[in-house]
A and B are shown apart, each in its own frame.
Chain A
Amino acid sequence: AQTVTQSQPEMSVQEAETVTLSCTYDTSENNYYLFWYKQPPSRQMILVIRQEAYKQQNATENRFSVNFQKAAKSFSLKISDSQLGDTAMYFCAFTAYNDMRFGAGTRLTVKP
């Protein structure tokens, strides 16, 4: 069974600084997809970034980038130039076929 682990329940960062959120997963599949979702207090989950396992190049989306280490089954999210609007819960998610599994989340607070 696939599992997703986020070992940092809470993190904080000063505005304009960089923060990295960790995620590890366990799977026997070779082809799969990884996601980072953001959930602000409004509760609506928003996709931040997606990574295909067959791609060696790390995905980037503006201030967001990932460090994907397939052999280590690690998928961390780096947020550069943190903004107050980045304050939210961040969930790492994994899917191989149909079942998208989520980690427990990391609560990120950006301090002014």
Chain B
Amino acid sequence: EAGVAQSPRYKIIEKRQSVAFWCNPISGHATLYWYQQILGQGPKLLIQFQNNGVVDDSQLPKDRFSAERLKGVDSTLKIQPAKLEDSAVYLCASSLWTVNTEAFFGQGTRLTVV
């Protein structure tokens, strides 16, 4: 089966610019996660969707970050405007349904803000 697809793989932008990341989860997976992984740290959950509803966005900086999951499938994560500290790898993951099932990760998008 196809894995979690993310694009782009790499992105370099200047501070105060906008950027968007795209994620296509594994077919049939109801749960979709966006994680931020700063260099040298573990992934931090930004937002979790169950189908097209938000389950947890408590750690999403809502003044600049937004995410949506249209029709409960693909998802986009947007940063507007970007700050230097947003430089990180953004990982998308999906799981079949419940919390105890395996989360499958994409290869991530490495964002560099200069």
Residues of A within 8 A of B (CB): 4, 6, 33, 37, 42-47, 50, 52, 91, 93, 95-105
The answer to whether A45 and B100 touch across the interface, beta carbons within 8 angstroms, is no
CA distance A77 to B92 in the complex (A): 25
Decide if A44 touches B106 in the complex (CB within 8 Å).
yes
- When C-beta atoms are compared, the residue in chain A nearest to B59 turns out to be A99
- The distance in angstroms between the C-alpha atoms of A44 and B103, with both chains bound, is 12
Question: What 0/1 pattern do residues 94 to 114 of B give for CB contact below 8 A with A?
Answer: 000001101101111010000
* 18 A–B pairs (Cβ distance < 8 Å), ordered by A: A4-B42, A6-B42, A33-B100, A42-B107, A43-B91, A43-B107, A43-B108, A45-B105, A47-B102, A50-B100, A52-B100, A96-B99, A98-B55, A98-B56, A98-B99, A100-B103, A102-B42, A102-B44
CA distance A101 to B42 in the complex (A): 9
Q: How far is A47 from B54 in the complex, measured between Cα atoms in Å?
A: 24
Does B82 make an interface contact (CB < 8 A)? no
Q: Which residue of A lies closest to B108 (CB)?
A: A43
Q: How many Å from the CB of B47 to the closest CB on chain A? A: 11
Report the nearest B residue to A6, measured CB to CB.
B42
| Residue pair B43, A102 in contact (C-beta under 8 Å) | yes
Known contacts A101-B45, A104-B42: does B100 contact A95 (CB below 8 Å)?
yes
Which of A37, A52, A96, A100 is the one whose CB lies under 8 Å from B45? A100
The answer, yes or no, to whether B61 is at the interface (CB within 8 Å) is no
- B99 touching A47, Cβ below 8 Å: no
Q: Any chain A CB within 8 A of the CB of B48?
A: yes
Inter-chain contacts of B33 with A (CB < 8 A): 100
A101 cross-chain contacts in B, Cβ below 8 A: 45
Q: Which of A42, A44, A97, A105 sits near B99, CB closer than 8 Å?
A: A97
Interface flags for B36-59 (1: CB within 8 Å of A; 0: not) read 000011111100100000011000
Contacts A95-B100, A100-B99 given; indicate if A45 touches B45 (C-beta within 8 A). no
Q: Which of B40, B44, B55, B91 contacts A45 (CB 8 A)?
A: B91
A91 x B100 contact (CB < 8 A): no
B89 at the interface (CB under 8 A from A): yes
Cα separation A41 to B48 with both chains bound (whole Å): 25
